[in-house]
Structure 1
Amino acid sequence: MSSQWWSDDDQLLEQLRDALSTARELPAGFVEVGKAAYAWRTIDAELAALTYDSAWDAEELTLTRAESAVLRTLTFSSDALTIELELTPHEVLGQISPPQRGTARLATESLGTDVDDVGTAPIDDLGFFIVRPAPNHPFRLVCQTAAGVTVLTGWISP
């Protein structure tokens, strides 16, 4: 490159415009393959099965005069962890068992992949975590422990 390139602002701006327009011209299939590859990042996560949902008890309570509770309780089980959740209108409270440090992340579906984080919280020594605010649309929970265990719940509809 000649020294003229650095002294000519118009040529520099033209080169930059060309570089930016080239970067935007990605084939749509290439972008979709990238998104699909990113979706596989949790493929090694163990899927926890829903073993209890307090909404199941709601059918029995419809025969009584009591108001239904605002709190919803869910339990997910896997070989590595048991995850107990309480959903309130404002937060998601949880505990993992056996208790250990880690990170809890709520994710929602975006273009076929669960990549939009809606909240992340640390898991303390006792296995407790609180994620605020609670999402008002379907989400899933990804728990990653300090020991390297990753457990993924199924989709949760608030």
Structure 2
Amino acid sequence: MSWHSDDRAHSSTDHPGSPWADDEVLGAELVTALAERETYDRVVASADLAFRAHRGMVDARAGLEMDLLLLELVYDSSALDAPVGVRDRSGGTSRTLVFEGHGLGVEVEVESSSIEGQLLPATPGRVSLRTPDGVVATIETDDVGYFRFDVHPDGPLRLECSSEGGTCLTQWLPY
């Protein structure tokens, strides 16, 4: 009688002549199978793949939790008569943005060569400037939460702000 993997899913009482009706026999056969180099390599490769997939899911979950602390854009000086998030490139030299959410916030002024702002409420913390490719710069704020980046990356950006009140992210801003 030949055995198929589907047959092993049934209990040993369904197949009284099963070679694996006994845990001792099954254990001995597993030890023998793993002693073969090819089988061992396949088991190790499968375990490595499973571990990497698990780590990827954990990392993705951490990113999701960060996005749950997303701040809402409540004021945009360049869009006084336009919908929030629409940038007016016709006028002034700077753009003021205010983001708020669940007791945390940040006020930002964006100029052609710098981005500066203050954490709300005014408290020391850390601010990171992020692009879709990752963190461009990170800075510690002063005692009242003031920060300044002397950079202006091309493309969309967002700020990740951390203080004793928590960690939050701004929406993506086009540039």
Alignment TM-score, normalising by the size of structure 1: 0.64
In structure 2, C-alpha distance between the alignment counterparts of 1:118 and 1:36, rounded to whole Å: 25
1:79 to 65, 77, 102: 102
Show the counterpart of 2:12: none
The one-letter code sitting in structure 2 at the alignment partner of 1:131 is F
% identity of equivalent residues = 30
Decide which structure has the larger Cα Rg and report it: 2
Q: How does 1:64-143 map to 2 (within 5 A)?
A: 68-110=91-133, 116-143=134-161
Q: Which has the higher strand share?
A: 1
Cα distance between partner residues in 2 of 1:91 and 1:37: 35
Higher relative contact order (CA 8 A, sep 6+): 1
Structure 1 residue 128: Cα displacement: 0.5
- Is the 8 Å Cα contact of residues 131 and 156 (structure 2) preserved in structure 1? yes
Q: State the Cα distance separating 1:33 from its structure 2 match.
A: 6.7
Once the 2 structures are TM-superposed, how far is the Cα of residue 129 of structure 1 from its aligned partner? 0.5
1:38 and 2:55 matched: no
Q: CA RMSD in A?
A: 2.7
Size of the alignment, in residue pairs? Answer: 121
- Among 71, 76, 86, the alignment partner of 1:53 is 76
CA distance in 2, matches of 1:79, 1:128: 20
TM-score, normalised via structure 2 length: 0.59
Q: Deviations over 1:95-136 (max 9, x none)?
A: 1121111100011113xxxxx111111111111001221212
Q: Secondary structure at the match of 1:150?
A: strand
Give unpaired runs (5+ residues) of structure 1.
1-25, 60-66, 111-115
- SS at structure 2 position matched to 1:47: coil
Over 3 Å off, 4+ runs: 29-37
Tell me which amino acid in the other structure corresponds to 2:61: W
